[in-house]
């Protein structure tokens, strides 16, 4: 009888654990379907877009700025997370890289710091170059004032950071909205910090580029329906697609550090 009671208690405990996991998954799905910070970001961008009557070229450059700062944010927070959690993640490193077991603690920490900082610097330079190349296309198809920064012969001859500072001063709401809506990507343990630092475009950066590709089609539809107000309507629609659509988040945080 005692063995039977133990088995029943064990089965009951397993059922309880399964119910807790199901509740957590349901809560996670609800958070994914409705992102309060995404709603706040949407409201912030729409307010400034409507009150300041942003043009579509200005919106394109604001989106470019948001993608750039999102990428930089992934790189910086990824490197910081790698350093801060180096001690607790050592077991995961040792499973993937057996030679790590032979390193003394100080040598291990020094290696992690050097690799994360050097990797962050390389990623920063690579993605700054890629966004600079992308900016060349925008300077042709989304030319705007001042032409010395955003004209066909302006951006290519600029120092890159001057246009960034100009955009940050005028279109900071887009960048702040994107960073606010995706703060979970920067500070959560649900994502691999090495992958986040090396491939930040796996998440919202792809959504930003898809939104730019959808711009001509949404613009034509808005012009057909709203005529003179089509630019503002197009921006609001695209911001809704960016901020309000559900996002697929990483589901397993049990082993956030995996080297593949």
The per-residue DSSP string of 201-219 comes to GGTHHHHHHHHHHHHHHHH
Tokens of 111: 């290696």
What are 29-70's pLDDT values in tens digits? 434 455 788 889 889 999 998 898 888 888 889 888 988 998
What band does 190 get if pLDDT is binned at 50, 70 and 90?
low
Stretch 217-223: mean pLDDT, rounded? 85
What are 64-74's pLDDT values in tens digits? 898 899 899 98
Burial 219-244 (b: 16+ CB within 10 A, else e): beebeeeeeeebbbbbbebbbeebbe
Tokens of 238: 């695209």
What are 104-118's pLDDT values in tens digits? 889 889 999 999 999
So where are the chain's domains? 59-203
SS3 64: helix
């Amino acid at each position: 009888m005692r063995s039977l009671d133990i088995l029943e208690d064990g089965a009951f405990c397993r059922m309880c654990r399964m119910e807790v996991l199901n509740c957590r998954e349901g809560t996670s799905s609800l958070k994914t379907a409705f992102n309060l910070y995404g709603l706040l970001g949407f409201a912030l961008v729409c307010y400034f877009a409507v009150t300041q009557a942003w043009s579509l070229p200005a919106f394109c450059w604001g989106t470019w700025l948001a993608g750039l700062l999102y990428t930089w944010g992934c790189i910086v927070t990824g490197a910081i997370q790698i350093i801060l959690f180096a001690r607790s993640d050592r077991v995961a490193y040792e499973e993937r890289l057996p030679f790590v077991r032979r390193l003394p603690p100080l040598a291990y920490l020094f290696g992690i710091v050097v690799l994360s900082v050097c990797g962050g610097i390389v990623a920063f330079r690579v993605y700054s170059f890629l966004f600079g190349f992308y900016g060349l296309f925008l300077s042709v198809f989304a030319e705007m004032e001042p032409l010395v920064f955003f004209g066909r012969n302006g951006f290519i001859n600029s120092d890159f950071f001057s246009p960034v500072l100009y955009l940050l001063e005028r279109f900071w709401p887009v960048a702040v909205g994107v960073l606010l809506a995706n703060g979970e990507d920067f500070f959560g343990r649900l994502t691999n910090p090495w992958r986040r630092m090396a491939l930040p475009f796996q998440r919202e950066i792809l959504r930003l580029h898809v939104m730019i590709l959808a711009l001509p089609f949404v613009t034509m539809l808005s012009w057909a329906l709203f005529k003179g107000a089509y630019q503002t309507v197009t921006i609001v629609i695209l911001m809704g697609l960016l901020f309000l659509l559900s996002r697929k988040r990483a589901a397993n945080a049990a082993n956030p550090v995996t080297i593949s």
